[in-house]
């Protein structure tokens, strides 16, 4: 084994070992490998090209200029934008509202038949539409929580909706260019001999679109009969509750208050961590309104400005003590769950 081969094995293996032990993030490991390989070539190791050719060190990052890599980076940016802008949460809320309406208005017989079929088609179609513009795994992961909450509200077994979500992400991804496999295939066409024209965004739609429609129709027609009707393992059912379930259990909506920060408040222009509201009063700040901007689940570094409105969860007698800190107290004027606005609650099983 040559020195270059041994050097390459060590450089790749060591970061991957740290990744497998959760000591290093995958993206940082990839960048570290590229950096070390490039540095090794620059110093004359010959791992990326002939020895003593420092100009070959650029090959360590040359892959970043490939069209497939740039397309995948853009796809992840789109996925993140849809998540941060609230589009995916809005879709999830609409799906849960529809499911809740089915549970409230439909009979048991209807839920076992037509309503179950509608929910299967609804979740498969929604996931397929999301996967047209974003990564398949991300599309499925974004709708999994709402599918589980729908199962809890309607009594439908999780397997009846989770499998349509998984298949919907695959079916929708096959209809456009924005799928990892399709992007790679398109890039391979350009490097073929002789070179072929790269595929465009809608070149997959005539075939993939028909496959997606046929797949969703099949799930709608035969899903209620063919999809497994079983419960998840007992430990999963006992350990996981949705955010809205936790809000109802702990009656958080009854302990929701608005606190306006007055100009002479000693907390004004200070980070949230310095207010010590949780340590001193046992209160939790669920959100901060600053002008027209709303920040839910704020970080400790979030600065409190005069005129900001803090969304606080706590007992009335403790909340009223905020008046001594230069705040004006009022009740939150909505009966909606605050988890629907992006605030997350979690629980841990013993």
**Which residue in 98, 197, 235 sits closest to 156, CA to CA?**
98
Name the most confidently modeled range: 1-5, 48-52, 68-72, 308-312: 308-312
Least confident of 3-7, 126-130, 176-180, 345-349: 345-349
Inside any domain, residue 346: no
pLDDT band at 238 (very low <50, low <70, confident <90, very high): very low
Same domain, 110 and 184: yes
Decide which of 18, 45, 63 is a domain's last residue.
63
Inside any domain, residue 27: yes
Inside any domain, residue 240: no
Same domain, 128 and 27: no
Same domain, 50 and 112: no
For residue 240, pLDDT beyond 60: no
Same domain, 257 and 155: no
For residue 314, pLDDT beyond 90: no
Same domain, 269 and 149: no
Same domain, 184 and 222: yes
Please give the Cα distance from 105 to 102 (Å, whole number): 5
Inside any domain, residue 239: no
Mean pLDDT for 198-206 is: 81
Same domain, 204 and 88: yes
Look at residue 344 and give its three-state secondary structure.
coil
Name the most confidently modeled range: 66-80, 223-237, 319-333: 319-333
Please give the Cα distance from 15 to 253 (Å, whole number): 47
pTM of the model: 0.55
Please give the Cα distance from 84 to 272 (Å, whole number): 22
CA dihedral 188, 189, 192, 196 (to 10 degrees): -160
Least confident of 18-27, 95-104, 229-238, 334-343: 334-343
Strand partners, 284: 313
Decide which of 18, 39, 63 is a domain's last residue.
63
Same domain, 88 and 189: yes
Q: What is the pLDDT of residues 19-57, one digit of tens each?
A: 888 888 888 888 899 899 888 888 888 888 888 788 888
**Which residue in 60, 59, 63, 42 sits closest to 51, CA to CA?**
42
Q: How many structural domains is the chain composed of?
A: 3
Element containing residue 288 per DSSP (H, E): strand 284-290
- Phi, psi (degrees; rounded to nearest 5) at 304: -95, 120
Cβ neighbours of residue 81 under 8 Å, at least 6 residues apart?
A: none
- Domain of 297, CATH number, reads 3.30.70.1450
| pLDDT in the model for residue 241 | 52
**Which residue in 309, 306, 307, 248 sits closest to 298, CA to CA?**
309
Same domain, 153 and 16: no
Can you say whether the dihedral through the CA atoms of 289, 290, 294, 299 is positive or negative?
A: negative
Is the CB of residue 119 less than 8 Å from the CB of residue 170?
no
Same domain, 91 and 176: yes
Inside any domain, residue 132: yes
| pLDDT in the model for residue 212 | 92
pLDDT band at 349 (very low <50, low <70, confident <90, very high): very low
83 upstream amide cis, omega within 30 of 0 = no
Same domain, 257 and 213: no
Decide which of 192, 226, 260 is a domain's last residue.
226
Same domain, 59 and 75: no
Strands 293-296 and 303-304: unpaired
Please give the Cα distance from 288 to 338 (Å, whole number): 13
Identify the domain containing residue 304 by its residue range. Answer: 251-336
**Is the model more confident about 255 or about 165?**
165
Inside any domain, residue 20: yes
Inside any domain, residue 158: yes
- Phi, psi (degrees; rounded to nearest 5) at 174: -75, -10
Look at residue 292 and give its three-state secondary structure.
coil
For residue 72, pLDDT beyond 80: no
Inside any domain, residue 341: no
**Which residue in 33, 89, 98, 20 sits closest to 60, CA to CA?**
33
Q: Using CB atoms within 10 A of its CB, is residue 36 exposed (0-12), middle (13-18) or buried (19+)?
A: buried
Encoded tokens for 279? 């340590």
Please give the Cα distance from 313 to 193 (Å, whole number): 65
| pLDDT in the model for residue 85 | 76
Element containing residue 259 per DSSP (H, E): strand 256-261
């Amino acid at each position: 084994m040559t020195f270059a081969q041994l050097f390459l094995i060590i450089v790749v293996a060591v970061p991957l070992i740290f990744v497998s032990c959760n000591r290093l993030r995958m993206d940082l490991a990839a960048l570290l490998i590229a950096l070390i390989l490039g540095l090794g070539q620059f110093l004359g190791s010959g791992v990326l090209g002939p020895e003593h050719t420092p100009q070959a060190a650029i090959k360590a990052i040359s892959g970043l200029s490939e069209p497939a890599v740039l397309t995948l980076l853009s796809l992840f940016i789109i996925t993140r934008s849809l998540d941060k802008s609230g589009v995916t949460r809005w879709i999830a809320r609409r799906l849960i509202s529809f499911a809740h309406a089915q549970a409230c208005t439909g009979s048991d017989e209807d839920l076992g038949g037509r309503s179950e079929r509608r929910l299967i088609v609804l979740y498969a179609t929604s996931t397929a539409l999301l996967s047209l513009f974003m990564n398949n795994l991300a599309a499925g992961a974004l709708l999994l929580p709402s599918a589980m909450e729908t199962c809890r509200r309607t009594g439908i077994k999780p397997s009846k909706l989770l499998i349509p979500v998984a298949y919907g992400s695959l079916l929708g991804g096959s209809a456009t260019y924005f799928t990892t496999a399709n992007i790679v295939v398109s890039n391979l066409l350009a490097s073929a001999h002789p070179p072929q024209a790269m595929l465009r965004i809608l070149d997959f739609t005539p075939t993939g679109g028909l496959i997606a429609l046929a797949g969703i129709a099949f799930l709608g027609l035969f899903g209620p009969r063919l999809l497994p009707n079983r419960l998840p393992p007992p430990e999963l059912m006992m350990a996981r509750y949705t955010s809205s379930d936790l809000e109802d259990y702990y009656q958080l909506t009854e302990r929701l208050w608005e606190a306006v920060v007055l100009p002479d408040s000693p907390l004004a222009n200070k980070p949230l961590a310095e207010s010590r509201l949780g340590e001193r009063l046992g209160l939790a700040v669920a959100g901060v309104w600053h002008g027209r901007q709303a920040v839910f689940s704020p970080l400790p570094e979030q600065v409190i400005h005069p005129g900001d409105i803090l969304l606080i969860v706590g007992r009335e007698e403790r909340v009223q003590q905020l008046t001594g800190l230069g705040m004006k107290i009022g009740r939150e004027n909505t009966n909606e769950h605050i988890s629907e606005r992006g605030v997350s609650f979690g629980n841990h099983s013993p």
